[in-house]
Amino acid sequence: MALKMEPLEEFMLLTIDRPQALNALSFALLQDLGQHFDAMAKSKARALIITGTGDKAFCAGADIGELMNRDRQAQKHGAELGQSVFAKLDKLAVPSLALINGFAFGGGLELALACTFRLATPNAKMGLPEIKLGLIPGYGGTQRLPRAIGQTRANEMILTGMTIDAGKALDFGLINQVVSTEKKIEEAIAFCRRFSGYSLPALSYARSAILRAHDLPLSEGLQVEADLSTLAYSQQDADEGMRAFSEKRPAVFKDQ
């Protein structure tokens, strides 16, 4: 099995387990990822943490051998497969976190970009090097990277194929935090606990509103925000949250 998914306290840990291939994404692995994301959607975990086996690579990208000698229809199908699988992360009721331990290139960085949050160990290296092969990113990189770090820096990364380290990624706003190699799992859990106690419906509405911010003019985005904030207000958790605030006690959310 090239993927392992297991409970990790109140979360779920999904590990890409192809160390001999630097945890590269084959088409079969992409399909398996989609199935694991579907299974995650049915779980009661409070967040999904994604990482790679070992300290050398989170995911080194697509399996280049599979990309050679394919016709245009096969290439388009492959790009659409990667895009559709990674889009499942947007639809999860819970946030996701990429724990980047080592290389995250091409499709590996695109997987991380599809996650809600990104943490990286000090030895992490990230990039979208497709231009060096006469290609461009195909699993969402050209769309998600500018949304994460802005067009100017995305142009530089994509058009030059540059590699950046964890420190530069933090400066760019590509990752949320640098974590220690020795305690990366513990620090990922601690990061997830910053939001995992909140109401899942409220977290989902907030994530949806943020995602739509890049797709809509401000006036339409504000209407989406008004609609989603109204939905959040209608939840029992909103009543509990406001009551707890008034009573000066911690809120006990029930995801309702």
Residues annotated catalytic, as ranges: 110, 130
Sheet with 96-100, edge to edge strand ranges: 3-8, 11-16, 48-52, 96-100, 117-120, 177-178
Q: How far apart are CA 53 and CA 17, in angstroms?
A: 5
Tally of CB atoms within 10 A around 142: 15
Structure tokens at 39: 């299974």
Q: H or E element: which one contains 200? A: helix 200-212
Sheet with 57-59, edge to edge strand ranges: 57-59, 103-105, 125-127, 163-165
Q: What share of the chain is helix, strand, coil (3-state, %, to 5)?
A: 50, 15, 35
Strand 117-120 and strand 96-100: the pairing is parallel
Q: Where are the beta strands (DSSP E) in the chain?
A: 3-8, 11-16, 48-52, 57-59, 96-100, 103-105, 117-120, 125-127, 163-165, 177-178
Q: How far is CA 222 from the centre of its chain?
A: 25
Contact (Cβ atoms closer than 8 angstroms) between residue 237 and residue 201: yes
Structure tokens at 14: 């999904």
